[in-house]
Chains A and B, each alone.
Chain A
Amino acid sequence: MPEENVHSLNQVQNWMQAMLVTAGEHRTPGGTGDRLKPEDVIKASSNLPAYQHLAIYQQSYVARLRECMRNQFSVLAYALGNDLFQLFADDYLEAYPSNSYTLNSLGSQFPHFLEQTRPESDSEQEDWPSFMIELAQFEYDLSVIFDEYADEKESIQSAAISDDMLMSTPVFHLFHHRYPVCQYYLDFTQQRKPELPFPKENYWAVARLNYRLKLFELEPMQYVFLKSLKAGRSIQETKQYFLDNHRIDPSQLENAWGRWRKDFIAKGIFTRV
């Protein structure tokens, strides 16, 4: 083999990765700047020339990661349509090639990327990019919540327990969206083929119960109450926080709390302190 065609292990790996990830924008490191050709590095076989051997890896690289993105953002892919989703996913993978050993974080920057590259919109009624960005973030958040480290505890089944013994389950998250992304997500997972929704402020909770995710919608005041609990306040402190910060009288609050308490226990989101 001619000496100019002998490359170090590191050079060969740099070259091959560049051919996959950046479609070949690579020059010989420390060399004359001449572009390496596939046939300089790869042998032709009886069936294929060198560049086609490389092409198998190139095509698989894109197809494999596209499929992972579609798997991770299946609801977003439905909302955007497969072709548009693929365009966004391909651009994203080019801008943010994976730098982790785990594919579960492949899409971690996708919502941010969609925000960065969102098309201009002059109508709030047609602000579909905002919906897509919220949906992408929610879908990624769900995958993180699903695998979150926590010792799960049994939910309280009976209302016969004092308030000071109640706390939210270890894996419990609250969402406030401009678009009804949670309902859209649920509709999709239940094969209801949802249509692009109009903006509608909404509040949801996601709890992981017995290692499965449960989604349920909240009233705005329930959201504020649970947010306060999540911030570390006890139920008694939360009630006081409510009275101090919201226009509600004590009897109204007690009535509401009685109703919410029953509802939250029925949904399984409380565990014993």
Chain B
Amino acid sequence: MTPSAYQQQIRELPNPGLGLGLRSKHFNHILEQSPAVDWFEVISENFMDSGGRPRYVLRQIAERYPVVMHGVSLSIGSTDPINYDYLRKLKQLAAEVNPLWVSDHLCWTGINGLNTHDLLPVLLTEESLMHICKRIDQVQDFLGRPVVFENPSTYLTFCQSTIPEWDFLRYMAEETGCGLLLDVNNVYVSSFNNDFDPIHYVRQLPHERIVQMHIAGHQHCGKYIIDTHDRKVVDDVWELFALAWQLTGGVATLLEWDANIPDFDAYHAELLKARDFMQEFAQGQKLKNQQGNSLSTISNPVSFLTTNLSYEING
């Protein structure tokens, strides 16, 4: 398929509304209560190798709610060969749950066969852009669908980088027809850590390519910010979200919460602030929100990606 065909598919994607990340802690609540959530984002790697309860639950949830598959291991920026074993499983899972779209990150996770399980920053150069576009073509052709790529939170800038990230994402989308997932919190975190203006970043993006937004909480450590996904969203990020909402015309929005995960109702309530904020924004008001305190400083927390058996054992 051509980039323009993928681009057309991206344009035709629906806006399912406000979504939540599906976490194992909430499985029972969702199955028993069927809460009024517009859609769920599932971490592909939590389910693609499961022959047990996680996949069994996902099949039931996918029958009741729209689902989006969000991955953390595609490693589109790596100089290692593409892992087709991984892609086969991803494609198989997509065939099973019929997601609205499949997304991952503009990053690399490892090289020489190793995996750091981090979303490492890509070199923003022409060589890197060509390398990544070629791999996106291969991945999209294998999956038979466009892939949506998220801007990661970054903690460094390479000396050699010559292309601003917003332009890199634009060129990437133009060359391959892929979609974009704008993580507003990541823009905020990266801008503080790497000395750029987050508002300029959001304004420069190709808004028509953005199919989804993420919002999340972070930890401010004084001289840097860590993307911890473990607390409520701060005012500055809500305001950046409002700008992005305005510029994109409104797209599917998801609240990420990956560490210190609250009970379902508290998680859902935080998401619904996005709706309140959209309404208040439309009325010219500002929502004030306090930042929570926590000692967690792990970027891109991933421990929720490991199986937690504490709810699954009977003596």
Contact = CB atoms under 8 A, between A and B. Distances in A.
Interface in A35-66: 40-43, 45-48, 50, 52-54, 56-57, 59-61, 63-65
B298 A67 contact: yes
Interface SS majority for chain A: helix
B49 A102 contact: yes
User: In which size bucket is the chain A interface?
Assistant: 35 or more
A146 B52 contact: yes
B248 interface: no
Interface SS majority for chain B: loop
A68 B306 contact: yes
Interface in A204-232: 208, 211-216
A45 B305 contact: no
A19 B195 CA distance: 23
Interface stretch (B94-102, B111-119, B175-183): B111-119
A142 interface: yes
User: In which size bucket is the chain B interface?
Assistant: 35 or more
Given A9-B127, A72-B306, A150-B51, A42 B299 contact: no
Contact of B110 (A17, A54, A106): A17
Interface string B295-306: 001111111011
Given A8-B127, A45-B195, A146 B116 contact: no
B117 A211 contact: no
B163 interface: no
Interface in B128-179: 128, 131, 155-160
A124 to B, nearest CB: 28
A99 B51 contact: no
A208 B52 contact: yes
Contacts of A57: 118, 120, 155-156, 299
B284 interface: no
Interface of A: 1, 5-10, 12-14, 16-17, 20-21, 40-43, 45-48, 50, 52-54, 56-57, 59-61, 63-65, 67-68, 70-72, 74, 97-104, 106, 142-143, 146-150, 171, 185-186, 189-190, 208, 211-216
